[in-house]
Structure 1
Amino acid sequence: MKKNIIKYLIVSSSLLAIVGCGRDMVGSETVDTDRQVGDGFIKTDAIARTAANGIYNNMQNRYVYGGELHFFEGLFADDFTHTGTFSEFAEAGASNFLDTNLSVRRIFGAHYTVIRTCNAIIDQVETKPILGNTITDPVKNQVLGEAYAGRALMYLNLVRLFGGVAYVTTPIYIADEVVRPKRDSKEFVYESIVNDLKKSIEFFKKNNEKSETFLSLDAAQVILAKTYMETGQYNDAKAILENIKGYSLSASYTALFSSSISTEHIFKINFTETDGGNQAFFFYPALVGGRGEVSLRTQFMSIFDTDDKRKMFALAQGRNYFRKYSNPGSGADNIPIIRYADVLLSLAECRLKTSGDALTPVNQVRERAGIAPLAAVTLDDVLMERRKELYGEADRWFSVKRFGKAQEVIESKGRPYFSKRLDLWPIPAWQLINNPNTNQNPGY
């Protein structure tokens, strides 16, 4: 397993887009000249597909979906506690980042690495296709659908964490080319995400190779619904979520994380023993082969009903540890990014905000968990159900912010709440030093 402490060097859009040779390689934040999407590179179907692989390779980065985002979301909110030695994690557990936090800096930068890959694909396949290229229409539509959806997903993460960021859409092909863009407003970022997703959906409607390990039409539509929820457009989100068809809850919650194929997965990131993720290693204590950097809070252990099958992943052995991801040695785990339970709970939230039956989708999730149905449902019930269902899946902080519960959650840990920060993480100091056109978030 790669416990990769990755070298880091980035100004918002200064590095090259990186691709790899397969979907199972961890993307690097350093420039590898053998894996650049060079200008004039994407000429054939095979190369276009290889370039699209780079989206997922870079999403495997420890600082995208390879670990840190999952840890820091739960630590900054109220699911996890810091039980290790890394100061960056301690700041997350205290809900109080310094702008010098190295992991926050890497989270910021690693998302832009994915974005650069997407930008290069869009540039060479759509904006200025290479003369004489032989890319067929089905492949063109597929890879552009993936590139637009991938870019939108990364910006959705960034805007929810940092607020307005530079919405970079131009590719970078020269190693020493440095672009120092200004931050765009939060409103502009959300508008641009919606536009990218609408383009993605149109391309996928022409060619949709449905797979839970690739971005697809359904994944793009769910990401669009999530974007609408963040901007308060609940009717628009509801209309999308009500039309997500062809999925069902896995019969077993356990099988959802132990099986490579599930009727519930809409989009996931696969790790193999070659490119292993970091989730299990950092969650598991040394007693069972991990590092024990992050554990479940004692208060979290008390939220489950006695018969709730979901709590089997939260075990107390000296300290509370989390075991949805089960391979601390190899890191060969499947990491869900979008699954049908999330769709159901999001639909319930939308219906409570607008109109319609919110009780049935919540009780579907509860039934699978083996607990009694609710007779009525509130927004607080939905938020709690999201916590029980999706813990450790990089959802909690996004959800408590959207529900307006950030202050309540942080103060429940005995930590001070800094209202001036607007529930945003700091723009990394490295960005401020190297890009005079950017600025810090309030309160930092």
Structure 2
Amino acid sequence: MTMRGLVKTLLWAMMVTLPFLACKRLVDTPTPQNRQTADRVFSNDAGAQEAMTGCYIDMMNTVRSLMNGGISLDAGLTSDELKCLSPALPEDSFYLDSLTPGNLVCTDLFSTAYNLIYDWNSVLAGLSTSTGVSAPVKAALQGEATFNRAVLYFYLVNLYGDVPLALGTDYAVNQKLPRMAVNSVYLQVVSDLEEAIARLPPDYPGDGERSRPNQVAARALLARVWLYEGQWAAAESMATQVIADGRYQLVANPDSVFLAGSREAIWQLQPVHGRMATADAGAFLRLLAGKPNFVLTQQLSASFETGDLRKVHWTKNSLYGAYPYKYKQIAASGVPPEYEMVLRLAEQYLIRAEARAQEGDVAGAMADLNIVRARSGLAATTATGQAGVLAAILHERRVELFTEWGHRWLDLKRLGQADAVLSIEKNPGWQAKDTLYPIPATQLLASPGMQQNPGY
């Protein structure tokens, strides 16, 4: 099914799948009526594909959920990327590092992630018992579901630390799930991605739009996971496989990077909410009397080198400071011109650069780094030595991936730099406990025995 077909079948898909996917909290389980609906949905290829469509609608139909703009904004505010100019907004707590277990935005990040995990677990359960879905379609959809579950657990474990690991839809099991150690969650993420690589087709479904993951998307995320885990050789190998695929290129014009169907896109998500602009555009481009709600910090604005095309094309000035301008369409009718970019090629070059530098291949790391810099109109790096090149790569990640999917926030944490950097940027509000978000109070009430993160 094409993404244009997704829009056309929105209402039908929601009518078919939402009764089956209802009650999606962490501790919920399908009723017998839902089970019968699931049996009908997964009775043939078309029904199974529509169930998958319904999951993507669920993912993108809530503004600023974890997968629809939430992490880019909230993690940008938590790190040293963004400042909130509207204290009345609940997101200001992320900038001030004053989150509480009752913060509604933080709670929504957590709860919508588990709602979506329930969706993907439900799809896997339906496919596992189906006798009417053909083997190739079943394998592809199973790979797609495990991939999406891996994405969600990757972000949950990086935002909240130890988290419950729900792999099914059984109430009796899910109600008593403890928080699992970060390492255990990462093992599941790796397992899901390896299964996705084995099951997903090499090509994109439908007409080739990149809004449903293929095998390469799973490799791209696994390259990131291996980098985070310090598995340098594995990260380099996986990123190399992605880079070597001829379908992906760095887009010469920075204004075209985030368009639907961008050659740089490895995986995008189509907006379906409201007038169909991206959630990022809705967050960053809405101005009141010329005043944006969120602007770049002075430190981020100053970090762009002279002549960097990213500052020219991906930021916009106002009287109150520069604000993100990667997405440029605040509203659209029909099929939107921009899709939410989740995975793109530039990150893979930077993953491989960092992995190579960590392995001692400084020349190889510089070569990858310079490819990204060249697209941005910059000369080759002048960094020297392993430490200097690693610092240059971190800088490049900052200016290339700013306000995208929490990259900067997660980089500061995984590299152990959060305290040093943010104690200055957020003085006096920063505390070491702020490296993890609080477990929502509602979740603690629903799951007796679950422990809160330290300091909250």
Give the TM-score, by structure 2 length.
0.84
Alpha-carbon deviation of 1:275?
4.2
1:68 is paired with a residue whose SS is helix
Alpha-carbon deviation of 1:205?
5.3
Which structure features the higher share of helix residues?
2
1:266 is paired with a residue whose SS is strand
Alpha-carbon deviation of 1:86?
3.6
5+ long unaligned stretches in structure 1: 1-20
Query: Is the Cα–Cα contact under 8 Å of residues 282 and 292 in structure 1 kept in the other structure?
Result: no
Of residues 424, 431, 438, the one that matches 1:418 is 431
Alpha-carbon deviation of 1:22?
3.2
2:83 is paired with a residue whose SS is strand
CA distance in 2, matches of 1:315, 1:207: 36
Check 1:86–1:334 CA distance in 2 against 1; reply closer, same or farther (3 A cut). farther
Is 110-119 or 202-211 further displaced after alignment? 202-211
Check 1:263–1:440 CA distance in 2 against 1; reply closer, same or farther (3 A cut). same
1:412 is paired with a residue whose SS is helix
Give 2:382's aligned residue.
375
CA distance in 1, matches of 2:203, 2:304: 43
CA distance in 1, matches of 2:200, 2:282: 36
Alpha-carbon deviation of 1:287?
4.8
Matches within 5 A, 1:15-30: 22=6
Query: Is the Cα–Cα contact under 8 Å of residues 85 and 293 in structure 1 kept in the other structure?
Result: no
Are residues 1:316 and 2:317 paired? yes
Are residues 1:216 and 2:217 paired? no
Are residues 1:340 and 2:345 paired? yes
CA distance in 1, matches of 2:176, 2:332: 39
Of residues 148, 161, 170, the one that matches 1:150 is 148
Are residues 1:103 and 2:99 paired? no
Check 1:65–1:208 CA distance in 2 against 1; reply closer, same or farther (3 A cut). closer
CA distance in 2, matches of 1:211, 1:223: 19
Give 1:201's aligned residue.
197
2:453 is paired with a residue whose SS is coil
Is 247-256 or 56-65 further displaced after alignment? 56-65
Are residues 1:117 and 2:119 paired? yes
Give 1:349's aligned residue.
354
Query: Is the Cα–Cα contact under 8 Å of residues 278 and 327 in structure 2 kept in the other structure?
Result: no
Structure 1, residues 30-52: CA drift from partner, whole Å, max 9, x if none? x9537649322311111111122
Of residues 235, 241, 250, the one that matches 1:243 is 241
Matches within 5 A, 1:402-417: 402-415=414-427, 416-417=429-430
Give 2:169's aligned residue.
171
Alpha-carbon deviation of 1:177?
10
Give 1:77's aligned residue.
79
Give the TM-score, by structure 1 length.
0.86
Matches within 5 A, 1:252-291: 252-257=253-258, 259-271=259-271, 274-287=275-288
Query: Is the Cα–Cα contact under 8 Å of residues 176 and 447 in structure 2 kept in the other structure?
Result: yes
Are residues 1:295 and 2:323 paired? no
CA distance in 1, matches of 2:209, 2:155: 22
1:33 is paired with a residue whose SS is coil
Give 2:365's aligned residue.
358
Alpha-carbon deviation of 1:328?
2.5
Amino acid at match of 2:351: S
Amino acid at match of 1:220: A
Check 1:284–1:402 CA distance in 2 against 1; reply closer, same or farther (3 A cut). same
CA distance in 2, matches of 1:283, 1:134: 45
Structure 1, residues 3-25: CA drift from partner, whole Å, max 9, x if none? xxxxxxxxxxxxxxxxxx93696
1:388 is paired with a residue whose SS is helix
Are residues 1:136 and 2:137 paired? no
2:57 is paired with a residue whose SS is helix
Query: Is the Cα–Cα contact under 8 Å of residues 314 and 323 in structure 1 kept in the other structure?
Result: yes
Alpha-carbon deviation of 1:432?
0.9
Amino acid at match of 1:44: N
Alpha-carbon deviation of 1:361?
1.0
Of residues 23, 29, 33, the one that matches 2:19 is 33
Of residues 178, 181, 200, the one that matches 1:185 is 181
Aligned identity (percent) is 26
CA distance in 1, matches of 2:202, 2:353: 30
Query: Is the Cα–Cα contact under 8 Å of residues 149 and 220 in structure 1 kept in the other structure?
Result: yes
Alignment RMSD (CA, Å): 2.7
Amino acid at match of 1:334: Y
Give 2:67's aligned residue.
65
Amino acid at match of 2:358: K
Query: Is the Cα–Cα contact under 8 Å of residues 250 and 262 in structure 1 kept in the other structure?
Result: yes
CA distance in 1, matches of 2:319, 2:434: 37
CA distance in 1, matches of 2:20, 2:229: 40
CA distance in 2, matches of 1:386, 1:211: 26
Query: Is the Cα–Cα contact under 8 Å of residues 121 and 169 in structure 2 kept in the other structure?
Result: yes
1:404 is paired with a residue whose SS is coil
5+ long unaligned stretches in structure 2: 23-29
CA distance in 2, matches of 1:32, 1:190: 30
Check 1:97–1:135 CA distance in 2 against 1; reply closer, same or farther (3 A cut). same
Give 1:15's aligned residue.
none
Are residues 1:434 and 2:432 paired? no
